[in-house]
């Protein structure tokens, strides 16, 4: 049930049986805890009412069959067991016993927010090595423990921190660790920080680290992610080497950008989601925030930031960053305009962290992503890959090999990799789900829209309340929304069950098929 240090059984009447029809949900309160009560064909079930990721009320989410999907970020839970079945988030929901006559239920208050992590370990006769600082390695490690793996688990990261919540970097949020050190120690998950892998010997099954040490492995997970592009900028944009030209890659970067930008003039180059989030965060802290970009693909975010006095220079790339005494002074745009600047933040894309694989037998694609199959296996036995660094077959698009750098997807990859490490064949079939937060307004996105040929809008973009369907070859391949919850969560769940949503359905004025509340 809901975590608490006190073991106690509570029985309360939540509602009358007649209060809920089949397929309906209701949030009730028992023992001062939010509980989601659901009525399905098999009767009533009850689980924790708040998503274990960021605490969204699941009663506002999408219910389909035995699963409820979070309206905010797409995490998905089994309504009978509370198990997390899609991500983001790490913890399962507490599950309750439910009485039938009056929909009353009883449950035991305990502190088990994550289901059955194994706590009996072998004498480290086997060792799994993970390269990562994010959710892919952490979910993989926890899934191994949940399935009674007793060998040694080591996460190697060049970061200073334990695995952290990277989407929070653009908000400079101080509470970013995904798990605290005592949790990791309790479950036998070692984390070696500030240690970087430099090569892999697949024949000897060893890895070499930058500190000169060499370590053997039984199974290896490559989840090294991507890094912000800055080197190409040095070639294409003179002045990018100046002091106060920054990229957002680590928590140290986030704190430094915050320190330099408060009360100053900031220019953000590029319209990556990270760049837009940085601009939004700094809009009420910096004196002036300007964004320069050549291409715009998140046009519905323009009005939000314009309302916050962020200045846009559309279709204007940067030709030069000029400085004085080694520091940024101004930014020259290709159109000839000059922007005063104390700080420049580059948000022009990312590149995979796979350089250390050069010369190894591990296959990468033309963009240096690690190629895996639907089981997250590379072409080398006992080596898996997950997260932003991986290219994998997307079930949603007829197994098209893709790279999707989404936070949710990295979680899902980690789980699938772990199950297949345990010889429990499980294919990757999660629906991509993405979100961004700009000045308190969230944009949700689900599916895979690359190659779309048309966008069908419902609602009003100018009023910042809309649903957008991305169409390709007569079907909906992705959807985005703002202030239209839980439409995208609902669509994601429909896609997850293999349903095809046609262009005709998207264009129709009748959206009853979407079953919005």
> Could you tell me if 293 and 251 lie in one domain?
yes
Domain total of the chain: 4
Average pLDDT over residues 235-264: 86
Helices 273-282 & 251-261 angle (0-180, nearest 10)? 40
Mean pLDDT of the chain: 85
Res. 464: pLDDT tops 60: yes
List, in order, residues 6 or more apart from 358 with CB less than 8 Å away: none
Give tens-digit pLDDT for 295-344.
555 556 666 776 677 888 877 778 889 999 999 999 998 888 899 999 99
Average pLDDT over residues 19-27: 87
Q: Is 479 within the bounds of a domain?
A: yes
Q: Is 2 within the bounds of a domain?
A: no
Most confident of 120-129, 218-227, 372-381: 372-381
Q: Is 20 within the bounds of a domain?
A: yes
> Could you tell me if 304 and 443 lie in one domain?
no
> Could you tell me if 359 and 338 lie in one domain?
no
* Percent over 90 (pLDDT), the chain: 58
> Could you tell me if 342 and 249 lie in one domain?
yes
3-state class (DSSP) for residue 37: strand
Give φ, ψ of 211 to 5 degrees: -85, 5
Domain containing residue 475: CATH number:
3.30.390.30
> Could you tell me if 30 and 80 lie in one domain?
yes
Most confident of 4-18, 145-159, 435-449: 145-159
Work out the pLDDT band at 178, boundaries 50, 70, 90.
very high
Beta strand 441-447 with 433-438 is antiparallel
Last residue of a domain, one of 298, 331, 347: 347
Work out the pLDDT band at 442, boundaries 50, 70, 90.
confident
Q: Is 481 within the bounds of a domain?
A: yes
The whole-number pLDDT of residue 206 equals 95
Res. 108: pLDDT tops 50: no
Q: Is 69 within the bounds of a domain?
A: yes
> Could you tell me if 245 and 332 lie in one domain?
yes
> Could you tell me if 298 and 243 lie in one domain?
yes
The whole-number pLDDT of residue 384 equals 97
What is d(CA 101, CA 41) in angstroms, rounded to the nearest whole number?
Answer: 15
Average pLDDT over residues 188-209: 95
DSSP class of 245: E
Domain that holds residue 498: 433-514
Last residue of a domain, one of 347, 375, 398: 347
The whole-number pLDDT of residue 236 equals 55
Tell me how far CA of residue 516 lies from CA of 64, 192, 490, 510, in angstroms. Answer: 12, 47, 8, 11
Res. 12: pLDDT tops 90: no
Burial class of 161 by CB neighbour count within 10 A (0 to 12, 13 to 18, 19+) = middle
The whole-number pLDDT of residue 173 equals 57
Question: In three state form, how does the secondary structure of 384-412 look?
Answer: EECHHHEEEEEHHHCCEEECCCCHHHHHH
Beta strand 265-269 with 288-293 is parallel
């Amino acid at each position: 049930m809901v975590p608490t240090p006190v073991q106690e059984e509570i029985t309360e009447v939540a509602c009358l049986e007649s209060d809920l029809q089949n397929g309906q949900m209701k949030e009730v309160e028992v023992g001062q805890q939010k509980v989601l009560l659901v009525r399905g064909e098999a009767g009533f079930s009850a689980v924790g009412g708040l998503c274990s990721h960021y605490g969204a009320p699941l009663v506002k989410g999408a219910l389909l069959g035995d699963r409820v999907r979070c309206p905010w970020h797409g995490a998905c839970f089994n309504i009978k067991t509370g198990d997390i079945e899609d991500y983001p988030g790490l913890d399962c929901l507490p599950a309750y016993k439910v009485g039938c006559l009056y929909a009353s239920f009883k449950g035991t208050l305990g502190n088990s927010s994550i289901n059955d992590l194994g706590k009996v370990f072998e004498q480290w006769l086997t060792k799994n090595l993970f390269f990562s600082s994010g959710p892919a390695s952490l979910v993989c490690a926890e899934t191994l423990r949940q399935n009674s793996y007793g060998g040694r688990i080591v996460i190697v990261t060049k970061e200073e921190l334990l695995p952290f919540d990277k989407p929070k970097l653009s908000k400079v949020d101080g509470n970013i660790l995904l798990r605290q050190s005592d949790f990791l120690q309790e479950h036998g998950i070692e984390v070696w920080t500030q240690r970087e892998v430099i090569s892999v010997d697949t024949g000897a099954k060893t890895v070499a680290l930058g500190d000169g040490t060499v370590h053997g492995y039984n199974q290896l997970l490559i989840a090294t992610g991507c890094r912000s592009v800055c080197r190409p900028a040095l070639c294409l944009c003179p002045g990018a080497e100046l002091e106060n030209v920054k990229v957002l890659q680590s928590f140290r970067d986030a704190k430094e950008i915050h320190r330099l930008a408060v009360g100053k003039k900031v220019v953000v180059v590029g319209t990556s989601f990270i760049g837009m989030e940085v601009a939004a965060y700094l809009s009420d802290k910096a004196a002036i925030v300007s964004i320069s970009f050549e291409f715009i693909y998140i046009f519905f975010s323009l009005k939000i930031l314009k309302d916050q006095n962020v200045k846009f220079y559309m279709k204007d790339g940067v030709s030069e960053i000029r400085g004085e005494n080694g520091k940024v002074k101004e930014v020259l745009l290709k159109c000839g305009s000059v922007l005063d600047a104390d700080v420049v933040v580059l948000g022009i894309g990312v590149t995979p962290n796979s350089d250390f694989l050069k010369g190894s037998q591990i296959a990468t694609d033309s963009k240096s992503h690690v190629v895996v199959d639907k089981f997250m296996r590379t072409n080398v036995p006992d080596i898996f890959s997950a997260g932003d660094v991986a290219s994998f077959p997307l079930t949603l698009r007829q197994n098209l090999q893709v790279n999707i750098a989404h936070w949710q997807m990295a979680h899902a990859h980690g789980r699938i990799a772990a199950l297949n490490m345990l010889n429990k064949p499980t294919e990757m079939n999660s629906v991509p789900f993405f979100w961004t937060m700009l000045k308190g307004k969230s944009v949700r996105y689900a599916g895979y829209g690359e190659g779309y040929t048309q966008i069908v809008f419902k609602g009003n973009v100018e009023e910042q309340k809309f649903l957008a369907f991305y169409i390709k070859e007569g079907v909906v391949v992705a959807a985005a929304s703002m202030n239209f919850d839980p439409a995208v969560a609902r669509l994601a769940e429909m896609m997850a069950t293999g349903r095809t949503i046609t262009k005709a359905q998207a264009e129709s004025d009748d959206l009853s098929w979407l079953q919005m509340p």
